[in-house]
A and B are shown apart, each in its own frame.
Chain A
């Protein structure tokens, strides 16, 4: 079974600054995806960024980028130029890729609550 650990329950950052959220995972699989999802207060879960394990290049989406260290099983999220709207719970998630009709369910970490301060 896979496990995902987010060691920072809460973090805060000043507006316009950069913050990094940590995530480690444990798996014996070689074919998988990793995700960061954002869950704003009382709002739905939104995909932030996705990384395919077979890709060595780190994924980037505008102000969001990841540092994917496959050997270390580490997948951190960097948010640059933080904005007030980035305030949310952030969840790291692991997806083992399975064949045919098998489901590709997500295994989530416990989350990091990020507060962006003006």
Chain B
């Protein structure tokens, strides 16, 4: 059973450019979460999918951010018109909806906006 994977692992971009990250969850997991982690801090929740439906979004998710999970499989997180403050690690986690939910994290995508 493969774990959660994310691509790319590192991304350097110039301010104003658009970037897209991909997350592939554990195959049978129907729940998917995106978190953002800035240097020296704990991760913060961004958004949540159950299957293909995006059911919750944090106030941290500005209108420059959009996430999708077509067909309830992989997910993408796009940031438009990147700003230097978007520099962070973007983490994806997946879980199986059940009474004892445990989230399994991917390796993250580290974004640097110059």
- Residues of A at under 8 Å CB distance from B? 4, 33, 35, 37, 43-47, 50, 52, 91, 93, 95, 97, 101-111
Contacts and interface: CB of A to CB of B under 8 A. Distances in A.
A111 to B, nearest CB: 5
B41 interface: yes
A45 B91 contact: yes
B20 to A, nearest CB: 20
Given A46-B105, A95-B101, 4 more contacts: A37-B105, A102-B55, A103-B50, A105-B45
B28 to A, nearest CB: 17
Interface string B80-113: 0000000000010101000011111111100000
A44 B106 contact: yes
Contacts of A33: 100-101
Interface in B36-68: 40-45, 48, 50, 53, 55-56
Contacts of A95: 101
B33 interface: yes
Contacts of A91: 42-43
